[in-house]
Structure 1
Amino acid sequence: MKKALIVGINNYPRAPLNGCINDAAEVSSYLKTHGDGSPNFAVKLETDVPTKAKLKALIEELFKGDSEAALLYFSGHGYTDATGGYLVTPDFERYDEGVSMDAILVLANKSVIRNKVIILDCCHSGAFGTPATLGQVITQIGSGVTILTACRDNEPSMERDGHGIFTRLLLHALSGGAADLTGHITPGSVYAHIDQALGEWGQRPVFKTNVSQFISLRKINPPIPLDVLRRLTEYFTAPQDKFALDPSFEKTNVKDATPHITKPYATPENVRRFGELQQLEGVGLVVPNDTRHMFFAAMESKSCSLTALGHHYWNLVKAEKI
């Protein structure tokens, strides 16, 4: 079982926000189901949580029990001072700004849940995971904990057009932008997606983890059928091999067609295999040799080979990991 607590707070009495509830609702929508509509996380969506006590109680409940995964997403105000970082609630006051990031870290570190994922879109969120008791310079996260934050501990997290800049990228990642060729989206791939999109001069995301294997946050329909992907090792018995082509692989090369007609004519089996090789080329796993297009590789009796990425997926198939 996987569960997620999704929190968005707009209604701060002295510094209201605009996009946090929108962000929370959309993150919730993506995490509830996989791309094919099948169930994913059991989501609890909480908006405008009014008090520190309420938010802390919700977080404590999230990290109880023995589940495969627990995910916390928070969008709202963040605050940091010499005593650490805080997730701010509407009842904030001076010297009592919100729920301590260090306290949340303790709950996550002590939880027996196998995977704990914490995603924060708030100012100063990069402070999470570096306790004030350690001078806020040493990261201390327990086994199975992964932290992804919108910015560093000394930076703001910005909103634009009704969404946090960070969460807009997170949503794109969860929709498939961060998926691998098997359709899986992991915390690592989400971070890589966001990291590449944010520039050097604005807010920078922070990623901290203590895991031996990433959990899949969501699965979408893969861009290539998995049975085709698994045939990489049939087409290439070794990753450095070249697959020889000839005109019999090109479906338009039939006896009565013009203008590209040459023997041997197309055969159904080779046309089928060529179609799969073209699918593999389309996702960057295969490349034609000595020509720009697979069509000419066939018509000119050339060959195709695996790319570096193709070599990687060949190894995964060979190891029966796909």
Structure 2
Amino acid sequence: MTESQGNADALVARFAQMFGALAGGVERVIRGKRDKVELALVCLLSEGHLLVEDVPGVGKTTLARAISASVDARWTRIQFTPDLLPSDITGVSIFNQAGNAFEFHPGPIFANLVVADEINRGSPKTQSALLEVMEERRVTVEGTPHPVPRPFMVMATQNPVDMDGTYPLPEAQLDRFLMRISMGYPDHQSEIAVLAGAPTGVTLERLQPVASREDVARMIDFAGRLHVAPPLYDYLVRVVAATRTHQDARLGASPRASLALLRAARVRAAAASRSYIVPEDVKALAVAVLAHRVIMTPEAELRGRTGADLVAEVLATVPVPQAAGV
């Protein structure tokens, strides 16, 4: 083994150790949801944004707070309502008479982890205030750009049951979410553990950070340099392209989805102590990354088909490259 290979293996091992520590810390609060916790952390370390679609009371906001507590990061919560204004999110410029100049007062979007609670209850004008910051990580107010801190992730929630008074997220907004997941109810034993530990168990206030914001930034940079063999690029593009040509798709996944899936696959590989991605990384993340970007035809919707069904079918039909990981 060469010295450079030994250093690379050590860095990968360090990444996996830190990832496991973060997931373990969050799981002390979010019981029985290790797979969802890991997907959320993959999203964070991919510099992406997360859409959690589920019924109330299953831990959507708790997941965001637990991640921010484990990372020693600043988090804010924005409760979306029909009367919420874009300036309530981004901030405003206020004239300072003492200095005879306008001063920018940042809004709650300037945090490391922003919880956009019930995002679909905000008006389209308010939702559009997130478009720039989710893509470019900056907010432009009166022609002046203001960068947000790093790491930065928007974790939005929406209730799929109570749709009265809501505004469906447009395709441009959905495409900016790297993943969409559903928390689901805990299993029987996990819910018993939650009840048994309720008075004295680990709470968010007791959760200790296991990584700094600088640690997370270094993990993001490291994962972005992981090796990807040419056959894996080809496989990933074939999977995404197949969503566009499928007979049940009115609109398939965009090139932004290809980049998102690549970033997430790199993080998953590093979390598994690998310095390269394999087809299983792509397959494990494809539904979470691609399904919400696919718009089904009306005929397919009448048959009860979903984007997740389409992506699963694509994964079953696109040939997997052999021995492409090294």
Relative to the length of structure 2, the TM-score reads 0.29
Higher strand share: 1
Relative to the length of structure 1, the TM-score reads 0.29
Higher helix share: 2
Higher RCO structure, 1 or 2 (CA under 8 Å, sep 6+): 2
